[in-house]
Chain A
Amino acid sequence: MAIKIEARDVSVYFGSTQILHNVNLGIEEKSVTAIIGPSGCGKTTFLRTLNRLNDLSPDFRLEGEILLDGENIYHMDPIVLRRRVGMVFQKPNPFPMSIFDNVAYGLRLQGIKDKHLLQEKVKSALIAAGLWEEVQNRLSSNAFDLSGGQQQRLCIARAIAVDPEVLLMDEPTSALDPAATSRVEELILELKKSYTIVLVTHNMYQAARVSDFTAFFLSGYLVEFNKTDVIFTNPRDERTQRYVTGKFG
């Protein structure tokens, strides 16, 4: 498998506070990589670094480099980068518009105006997000009429409609009930056939269930990165062992 995204010696600062310390990490293409760690360990900061969302903070500073297919993302147009690296947030955040328009939003931004093409792409994104069966007869309904789980799958459909290569997911199920969580987890496993997925999760068991690789962060340091099978059966670092067995965090 090829490395899709590579962090090389990445350190992140907000003002004078260092949040991440010399992180080196290679994320494999078409796999699910979970990032776990206690609150404040830097996992969300790391995720947001991968599509330059941290750039929006004026006192943000990054050392090292992040490569997407070998190209430094900080030398890319952020708009182009975010088209290639989509994001799904913790809480479902549909736009205040119809289901159809939510999914078509990014496509229209890309300049697609052809009605048939839009319909086709919206449909395939909704199918890929496992939502088509449930919404095909009410595409013009307001997105807020959907349940929380459906809204999150709608946001996933919106993210994949523009055909990204990487999907970043920041605790995508933390606001969902167990049934909706299970539905999204199944979807993640389906999506990894086409996309590279990086998943930040508070729920260690979710990382165990859905990821191929797991990175454990602690106090801004990457403590251990390995196959998920290894992390949850025989972690190499004592701190990882303590975290996955629930002894701290």
Chain B
Amino acid sequence: MLNERVSEINSLVSEMGGLVEDAIVKAIRTMVEKDPTDADQVINDLEPRINELEKRIDEECLITLARYQPVAHDLRRVVAVLKIDKDLERMGDHCENIARRAKEIIKEPLLKPLIDLPRMAETAQEITKEALDSFFKEDTQLAKQAIEKDVLVDQLQEQIIRELISYILADPRNINKALDLIFTSKDLERISDLATNIAEETFFLVEGSDIRHTGPKDQRKD
């Protein structure tokens, strides 16, 4: 009945989230370890599986809505999942971008040692994990913690961009390599931001409140 359907959907979302976390780690590890194996796995295995899961979860949600007419908390869960799987799918796309770019970057010596990008990736992965855990555990405190952590990712990105601009100014021949790293930081920033969207859905699930555009994430921007 409905409970079994919801458990099945939860387990699919959990599987999808696990693949995204794996993709974040492997996409960045390609650059750090200068080994394209991980990038190939992201491109050829993880990202396609993430896409398939998005379709499967959408279908499960559609069937659940049609057959069980969930209301209240159950309805909010299905609606939230329909948004979460879109966020996870987009995160998978960003991981693929990073992986493809990483394969190119490692063909030549790096512009600089990678310190902040791996930290950004690690934090983005943590936010993803906490956001999904908060949703499954229906824990708004954990969701808030995940959202607040996004500030670290933003700060790291600003730092990376400032530093890379100085490399460009010092020698315009660095521009291509610097831009690759800037775009990578942008992908990680987007991944982190999409993960906080998931955490916002925890508030919708638990409290029925819509904190998008008004919650901690947006207050920080003001």
Task: Give A residues with C-beta under 8 Å from B.
Answer: 185-186, 189, 205, 208-210, 228-229, 232-233
A233 and B1 contacting across the interface, CB-CB below 8 Å: no
Contact of B1 with A185 in the complex, beta carbons under 8 Å: yes
In the complex with contacts A186-B1, A209-B1, A233-B69 CB distance below 8 A: no
Assess whether B1 is in contact with A232, with CB atoms less than 8 Å apart.
no
| Measured CA separation A215–B142 after assembly (Å) | 47
Query: Which residues of chain B come closer than 8 Å to A209, judged between CB atoms?
Result: 1-2, 67-68
**A60→B179 CA distance, assembly (Å):** 83
> 21 A-B pairs, CB-CB below 8 angstroms?
A185-B1, A186-B1, A189-B1, A205-B69, A208-B66, A208-B67, A208-B68, A209-B1, A209-B2, A209-B67, A209-B68, A210-B1, A228-B67, A229-B63, A229-B67, A232-B63, A232-B66, A232-B67, A233-B62, A233-B63, A233-B66
- Give the residues in chain A near B67, CB-CB below 8 Å: 208-209, 228-229, 232
Sorted nearest first, the 3 A-B pairs with minimum C-beta distance are A208-B67, A232-B66, A233-B66
**A210 to B63 CA separation, bound complex (whole angstroms):** 13
Q: What is the distance, in angstroms, from B4's C-beta to the closest C-beta of chain A?
A: 9
Q: Please, which residues of chain B bring their CB within 8 A of the CB of A205?
A: 69
Q: Which B residues are CB-close (under 8 A) to A210? A: 1
Interchain CA distance A205-B62 in the complex, whole Å = 15
Task: Kindly state the interface size class of chain B when it binds its partner.
Answer: under 10
Chain A residues within an 8 Å CB radius of B2: 209
Q: Tell me the smallest distance from the CB of B198 to a CB of chain A, in Å.
A: 26
Residue of B nearest to A185 (CB): B1
Which residues of the partner chain B approach A186 to less than 8 Å between Cβ atoms?
Answer: 1
Residues on B with C-beta less than 8 A from A208 are 66-68
Per-position 1/0 for B55-94, Cβ under 8 A of A: 0000000110011110000000000000000000000000
Which residues of chain B have C-beta atoms less than 8 A from A185's C-beta? 1
Cβ distance B71 to chain A, nearest Cβ, rounded Å:
12
Determine the chain B residues whose CB is within 8 A of the CB of A229 once the complex forms.
63, 67
Contact partners of B62 in chain A: CB under 8 A: 233
Bound together, the chains give a CA A198 to CA B62 distance in angstroms of 25
Residue of A nearest to B66 (CB): A232
- Using an 8 Å CB-CB cutoff, how does the interface string of B1-42 with A read, 1 for contact, 0 for none? 110000000000000000000000000000000000000000
Q: What's the minimum C-beta distance from B203 to chain A, rounded to whole angstroms? A: 29
Q: How far is the CA of A189 from the CA of B2 in the complex (A)?
A: 12
Give A186 to B63 CA distance when docked, in angstroms.
Answer: 19
Q: What are the residues of chain A within 8 A of B1 when measuring CB–CB?
A: 185-186, 189, 209-210
Give bound CA distance, A210 to B62, whole Å: 16
Tell me the B149-174 residues at the A interface (CB within 8 Å): none
B69's closest neighbor in chain A, by CB? Answer: A205
Give, as a whole number of angstroms, the nearest-CB distance from B69 to chain A. Answer: 7
Can you name the residue of chain A whose Cβ is closest to the Cβ of B60? A229
Q: A209-B68, A229-B63, A233-B66 are in contact. List 5 more A-B contacts (CB 8 A).
A: A185-B1, A205-B69, A208-B68, A209-B67, A232-B67
| Bound CA span A189–B3, Å | 13
Residue of A nearest to B62 (CB): A233
Q: How far is B36's CA from A21's CA once the two chains are assembled, in angstroms?
A: 65
Q: Which residues of B contact A232 (CB under 8 A)?
A: 63, 66-67
List of B residues within 8 angstroms of A233 by Cβ:
62-63, 66
CB of A174 to closest CB in B, whole Å = 19
Measured between beta carbons, the chain A residues less than 8 angstroms from B68 are 208-209
Q: How far is the CA of A37 from the CA of B1 in the complex (A)?
A: 22
A8 to chain B, nearest CB (A): 30
